[in-house]
Amino acid sequence: MRLRTQLLATLLLASPLVHAQSSVLIYGRMDGGVQYINHVTTGTGITASSWSAEGGDWGTSMLGFKGNEDLGGGLNAIFTLETGLQIQNGTTSGGRLFSRRAFTGLKSDEWGTVQAGRNLFIDSDGVWEFDPMVQQAFSTASLVRGRNWQQSSNNLEYHSPVIAGFDVQTQFAFGNQANGFNNGAPGEFGRSDGVMLSYHSTLFDLRGIYDELRDNNGQMTSIFTSSREFFVGANVHFDAIKIQGGYTHLAAPDTPVGLADSANYYWLGATYNLTTAWAMTGAGFYVNVGDGGGDAQHDPSGHATMYTLGTTYNFTKRTFLYGTVAFVDNSKQANFSLLANPREGTGSTSPLQGESQTGAYVGIMHLF
């Protein structure tokens, strides 16, 4: 009897291990090519053309690990570790070991997913699906200076299951500072949060997002770096054509008096699959910055229009060639670049105020 009891106890303890199934997936992609941009400001009143080898023009090169353990009853433990890579010099994005995603959580088929850790900010995760250029280097991110492709740390997130085509995602990022609940560490965002509602069907997709991205002082002081966002987007699917459009309103209520504190942003584009391997995409993007002045960090009142034309050719499901050309037309005070970078200073490719800019890139993408 004692032996039988011990055997039963051993089987009960071991049974979760017997039924649980674990898996770890290594994945990633590598993107490399050549880029050209003209009218890049190199000094006071001086511009020049730029030729460069680039990694990530079509999409960020990355390396990631995904883990899943079946806990039974439709419940799974999950984790993701993912870092951006710059293949031209072998570095990781921003010098972080896992720059894009580093989270763990629980996923339920019935109740949804709860996760904690670093992740793409909610609008970055949500806007790209409605961007005709899928957030390439010349894309929806360009005329908002990268506002919609940030990452945030210290996140708590919830993703609902899909019910009748609808699902909800929420994200809350703690600032983790004792000197102010909304504050963040130097070089990091402060408390930031958002909610996203999506609907998917075979004919069309709809999405709405509201989010707040704060600076490390806990304020929203710049429409393109720390602000409040309202976004709506739509995709319409036909046999060989997909039409995509979106609208974003940005507002920064803590902007210093006299500087522009709002912007409206619109885009529309379409992708046509000429064959199963070859696709063409064309899109137009327009931003209008509200009344107010500007400085080195703040764009003044003005507007800009960007036009893009791109193509991809798939050798296989994992490897394709790409090419994109683009043109941005700035109003008298605007100096938006084709690339999503700061208005002035290190890393900026902005032209002079009122000057247009033309650019192109070609490359290869391999997924694994």
What's the whole-number average pLDDT of the chain?
94
pLDDT at 20: 58
pTM: 0.92
Structural domains of the chain, count: 1
Q: Could you tell me if residue 185 is inside a domain? A: yes
Q: Could you tell me if residue 205 is inside a domain? A: yes
CATH number, domain containing residue 166:
2.40.160.10
DSSP 205: E
Q: Could you tell me if residue 100 is inside a domain? A: no
Could you give the C-alpha distances from 141 to 26, 127, 336, 348, in angstroms and in order? 28, 9, 11, 14
For residue 296, give the H/E element and its range: none
Mean pLDDT, residues 213-234 taken together:
98
Query: Residue 299 belongs to what domain range?
Result: 121-367
Q: Could you tell me if residue 143 is inside a domain? A: yes
**In sequence order, what are the beta bridge partners of 311?**
280, 323
pLDDT at 10: 38
Q: Could you tell me if residue 89 is inside a domain? A: no
pLDDT at 183: 98
- pLDDT level of residue 43 (50, 70, 90 thresholds): confident
Residue whose entry in the numeric block shows the structure tokens 């107010």: 292
Tens digits of residue pLDDT in 149-183: 999 999 999 999 999 999 999 999 999 999 999 99
Q: Could you tell me if residue 259 is inside a domain? A: yes
Residue whose entry in the numeric block shows the structure tokens 């898996």: 23
Q: Could you tell me if residue 340 is inside a domain? A: yes
Residue 7 has pLDDT above 70, yes or no: no
pLDDT at 69: 98
Q: Could you tell me if residue 33 is inside a domain? A: no
Residue 236 has pLDDT above 50, yes or no: yes
Measure the CA–CA gap between 283 and 215, rounded to whole angstroms: 31
